[in-house]
Amino acid sequence: MDDDLFDFVEEIVSNRKSSNGNEMKDGVEGCGKGKDNEEMFKGITEEGLQEMVTKTTLLKENISKHIKELEEENIRLKGEVNKSMASQCPSCNHINGRYQKTEKQVEGCIYVDGKTLRLTFDNINDMKKFYYDNKLHLFDK
């Protein structure tokens, strides 16, 4: 059933046939002008019509579901790309511009212009010296 439906859709999309199955020439359906609509749809039964409606509805729901999944995946991937671009320092390849913390490194914080800045020092003595030289107050996190 699905293969027939996809073949039907493919023929319509590639403009080989019209939606009601008539051959198309130069993008125009081959049904003569002046034919009645009743005559064109004469052979379609109520069951056939209901089956076509069901197939079309299922196809529409399936396509809508796939489009939604692709949009969500696209948004997720854009977010990952933006996050990786924002967090990667191109010159030194350290995440967020911070060096990898070794066991002997310590972190200190200073408060400047209403913002807290986090600094990394090789050891506690370097941190104390920096704070003392710049006349800053040491405070715990």
Quick: pLDDT tens for 29-50.
555 555 566 676 677 778 888 8
Judged by average pLDDT, the poorest of 59-63, 91-95, 116-120 is 91-95
Identify whether 26 is part of a domain.
Answer: no
Residue 31 lies in a domain: no
Task: Judge if 136 and 106 occupy the same domain.
Answer: yes
- Asked if residue 70 and residue 9 are part of one domain, the reply reads yes
Q: Is the pTM of this model over 0.85?
A: no
> If pLDDT is split at 50, 70 and 90, which confidence band does 82 have?
low
Task: Confirm whether 66 is domain-assigned.
Answer: yes
Candidates 73, 52, 62; CA nearest to 5 is 52
Domain that holds residue 58: 1-20+48-87
Residue 63 and residue 107 share a domain = no
The span from the CA of 51 to the CA of 54, in Å, is: 5
pLDDT tier at 60 (50, 70, 90 boundaries)?
Answer: very high
Cα–Cα distance measured from residue 124 to residue 16, given in angstroms and rounded to the nearest whole number: 78
Structure-block tokens of residue 73: 């995946």
Number of domains in the chain: 2
Residue 37 lies in a domain: no
Most confidently predicted of 81-85, 86-90, 114-118: 114-118
139 in the same domain as 112? yes
Q: Is the pLDDT of residue 1 over 70?
A: no
**Rounded distance, CA 75 to CA 36, Å?**
49
